[in-house]
Structure 1
Amino acid sequence: MKIGFDSVPEALPGTYCGRLVEILSEYAPEHEYVVGGEPDDEADVYHSSASPLAQGVRLRGARRVVTVRDLNFLRYPRMYTFFDRMVRLRLYRRSCRSAACVIALSRGAKEELAERLGIDPRKIEVLLPLGVHPPAAPAGEAECEAVRRKYGLPGRYVLAVGVPEVRLRLVEIFDAVRDSDAGCALVVCGRRTGYSDFLSEYARATGGAGRIEFVYESAPADLPALMRMAEAYVSMSDPEVGTSLRPLVEAMRSGVPAVLSDTPLHRETAADAAVYAASGDEAALCGALRSVLCDKEFRACLAGRGRVRSEIFSERAVARRLSEIYGSLQACPERPE
C-alpha cells in the first residue's frame, strides 16, 4: 500500500505526521510512505492534519485520512478572534467531511466532532496520542545516579513535567507534596518561565524553600531516568490544552504511580493505573499523594497496572492500529457525507 503524508510543517521531523512516518517505517515496513508532493494515481491513502495548511492538496484516487489534533478554537473561543474561529470552523468541517476517515485523539474529541461539526461518527476512529519509543534498555542504577548528579536532584521527589505556568496548578501540587508528610520534594521538569520564579518565591515564603527544584531544558533521553527515580508522577492540568500525555505513559511504563486531575482524557489514558483528584480539591490531592507515597502495597498494585496499561501506547501498537485503519479503507466503499 502506498501512503502519502503532508508536506506542510505538520509533517516535518518531530511533528505529528513526521513522527507517524518514522513509527510506520519502523514497525510497518510493508507499506510505502511518501512525504510531500501531490499524491499520484498509485497512492492508496493520503494522511494529513485538519489544519488550514493541509487543505491545498488535491487528491486523485487516494482516500484521505485526517487527524484532528486541536479543537481549542471550539472549547476556548476567547483565545481566538471571531474571524479566526469562523475560518477554522469552515476549514475543519470541510476537511473532515471530505475525508474517508477522521482520527480523533480521545473519545471526548470524537463526540465533539460528531456533535459540533456534524461529522458521521461511523467514520471517526479514536487513536490516542503517539506512542512512546521503547528505550534500548531500562535506565540502570549508574545512569540514574549520573542523571541525579547532572541535575542536582533530591533523594526523594515527586515529578511534574511541563512548562511552568498557572494551568499546571503547581502551587496546588507543591502544597500537597509539602503537606503529605512523606519527606519528598517537588521536581518540575520544563523550561524556565516567570511562573517558575514565582513558585520559588512562594516556596520560600511558605517555609518550603528546600522542597521544590527545577530541571530546565532537560535532555529527552534523560526522561526515563528522571521518571524511574521519582516516587510519583503528578499532573493536575487539563490535558486537552496542549499538555503532552507522553510523560504519563513513560511513568506507567516505568512503574511509577501517577496522581492525575480527574478529567476524561486522563481516565481514558490511565484507566485504573492512576489515582485521581478533582482540580482545586487540595485535600483530595494531598490524600491521593499520601496513598501512593506511603502505602507500599498500593504502590506495587499501581505499578503493575501501569506497566500493563502502557503497552497500548507503544509505537508498535500505534503502527498496528494505523495499518488496520488504512487497510480498512481499501476494503470498504467510501461513505458519502
Structure 2
Amino acid sequence: MNIGYEAKRVFHNKTGLGNYSRDLVRIIATYYPENSYFLYNPKKSKETLFNTNSSIIFEKLPSTPFYKKYYNLWRQKGIITDLETDKIEIFHGLSGEIPSGLKNKNQKSVVTIHDLIFMRYPHLYSFFDRKIHYFKFKKSAKNADLVIAISEQTKADIITYLKIPAAKIKVVYQGCQANFKQNYSAEEKNEVALKYNLPKEFILNVGTIEERKNALTIVKAIKDIDTKLVLIGKQTAYSEKIKTFIKENNLEEKVVFLQGLSSKELAITYQLATVFVYPSIFEGFGIPIIEALFSKTPVITTNSGVFPEAGGLNSVYINPENAADLKIQIEKLLSNESLRNEISDKGFEFVQKFNDDVIAKEIMKCYKSLF
C-alpha cells in the first residue's frame, strides 16, 4: 500500500504531538516494510527532527510556487492533487486534522485525536482557540472513515463532545521513544547527574510546567519531606506561581527547574529518579507515565480519568488536589525500597502492552479494516 501522513508535526514539533507522529511512522515502517510511506510536510524544516533516509519513507513538500507560499492552504486542500499523483490508498491525519475533499476523491482516511481538553477545561484556552480546535476536530472526525483515539478516556470524550458514534472509533495506545527502553551504564548516568547537578535522591516530574499539570501540588507535598524535586519542562506563567510559593517557604534548595535535555539525557534522568510524580488534572493519555514505567521508576499519579489506564494496577494513585495525600504516598515510597522495587517490577511488566510491535499490529489492523 501507499500510505500518506499529514506530517507537519513530524518535522516541526519537538514535543508530544511530534513524538507521537514520528514514533508512529517509525514503528509502522519497521514492522510493515512492504508498504511505502509518504510524509506530507507543508514547509522545509529548520532542523532535522526526523530522517527519511529510507527506501520506503518519502518526504513530500508543496510542488508549486503558489502552494510553497500558501502552505497552510496546501495542507487544507491543495494536497489532494498530490495524494492522487502519489496513488495514496490511505491518508492518516496524525494530530486531529485531515484535508477537505478526501471523500470526493474516494480517498480512505484515518484521523488520530489525542484529547479534547479544550472542551473539558475551556478556561485554559482562548475563545478563538476553542472555536478553531472544535471546528477542525469535528470536521475531521466526521469526514474520516475511522477515528483513532489514544485512550478509552479520549474515545469517551469524542463520543460526548463531538457526537461521533462509538463504532467509528478505535482505541490504539501510544508508546514511547526507544531511548526510554534502554539500560544505561553507570558512567552515562554519572555524566548526566554531574551535567545537571542532580541530587542523589529526588522526586521527578516531566511535562510543560502549566496549571493543568499541577506541579505546585508536588512542591507543597514535599515542603516538609527530606527530599528534592526536579521539574523538567517548558516554563509558563504558572511557573512563576510555583516560584513564588518556593520563595515564600524557603524551598529554593529543594526544587530544581530544568529544560532542554536531549531525549537520551531525559531517559537517563528517569532512571536516576527515586519516584516519578505526575498529579496532572487531565490528559489525553500521559506519555511521561509510560516513560517512567519503562524506566523502572515507581509512579504516583492521579486517581481518575486516563491515569489508571496508563499506569496500570500497581502504580500509586492520589487525589491531585490533595497535597497531604500526596505527601503520605511520597513518604511511604521514599522510606521503603522493597516496595519501590515491587511497584517498579510490576509496572515494567504492565507497560509491555505499549511496545512497538503491539502498536504496529493495531494500527495496521485499523488501516486494513477500511477495505
Could you state the TM-score of these two structures normalised by the residue count of structure 1? 0.85
- Given the alignment of the two structures, is residue 29 of structure 1 paired with residue 33 of structure 2, yes or no? yes
1:310 matched to which residue of 2? Answer: 351
1:333 matched to which residue of 2? Answer: none
Give per-residue Cα distances to partners, 1:169-192, cap 9 Å, x unaligned.
333212322334xx3211111245
- Given the alignment of the two structures, is residue 224 of structure 1 paired with residue 267 of structure 2, yes or no? yes
Q: Could you tell me which of 191, 204, 220 is aligned with 1:175?
A: 220
CA contact (8 A) 2:117 2:282 kept: no
Unaligned runs of 5+ in 1: 331-337
- Given the alignment of the two structures, is residue 209 of structure 1 paired with residue 252 of structure 2, yes or no? yes
Q: Could you tell me which of 106, 124, 133 is aligned with 2:151?
A: 106
CA contact (8 A) 2:102 2:108 kept: no
- Cα distance, 1:156–1:26 mapped onto 2, change above 3 Å: same
- Cα distance, 1:48–1:57 mapped onto 2, change above 3 Å: farther
TM superposition shift of 1:239: 3.7
Give per-residue Cα distances to partners, 1:205-230, cap 9 Å, x unaligned.
32433211222322222012101111
- Given the alignment of the two structures, is residue 149 of structure 1 paired with residue 190 of structure 2, yes or no? no
TM superposition shift of 1:195: 4.8
- Given the alignment of the two structures, is residue 248 of structure 1 paired with residue 296 of structure 2, yes or no? no
- Cα distance, 1:149–1:91 mapped onto 2, change above 3 Å: closer
CA contact (8 A) 1:169 1:236 kept: yes
TM superposition shift of 1:22: 2.5
Could you state the TM-score of these two structures normalised by the residue count of structure 2? 0.78
Alpha-carbon distance in structure 1 between the residues aligned to 2:95 and 2:289: 26
**Secondary structure in structure 2 of the residue aligned to 1:111:** helix
2:83 matched to which residue of 1? Answer: 39
Aligned ranges for residues 192-203 of structure 1 at < 5 Å? 192-193=235-236, 195-196=238-239, 199-200=242-243, 202-203=245-246
Aligned ranges for residues 18-167 of structure 1 at < 5 Å? 18-36=22-40, 37=79, 38-40=82-84, 42-49=87-94, 51=96, 54-56=98-100, 58=102, 60-78=105-123, 79-81=125-127, 85=130, 88-134=133-179, 137-167=182-212
Matched residue type, 2:322: D
Give per-residue Cα distances to partners, 1:270-312, cap 9 Å, x unaligned.
1213101112212211111122211233212211111112222
CA contact (8 A) 1:133 1:314 kept: no
**Secondary structure in structure 2 of the residue aligned to 1:40:** helix
Matched residue type, 1:58: L
CA contact (8 A) 1:50 1:96 kept: no
TM superposition shift of 1:87: 5.5
TM superposition shift of 1:158: 0.5
CA contact (8 A) 1:252 1:273 kept: no
Q: Structure 1 residues 274-283 or 59-68, which shifts more? A: 59-68
CA contact (8 A) 2:96 2:111 kept: no
- Percent sequence identity over aligned pairs: 25
- Given the alignment of the two structures, is residue 328 of structure 1 paired with residue 369 of structure 2, yes or no? yes
1:3 matched to which residue of 2? Answer: 3
CA contact (8 A) 1:64 1:100 kept: yes
Alpha-carbon distance in structure 2 between the residues aligned to 1:135 and 1:175: 29
Alpha-carbon distance in structure 1 between the residues aligned to 2:269 and 2:23: 23
- Cα distance, 1:114–1:163 mapped onto 2, change above 3 Å: closer
**Secondary structure in structure 2 of the residue aligned to 1:234:** strand
- Cα distance, 1:93–1:135 mapped onto 2, change above 3 Å: closer
2:322 matched to which residue of 1? Answer: 281
What do you get for the CA RMSD once the two structures are aligned?
2.6
CA contact (8 A) 1:240 1:265 kept: yes
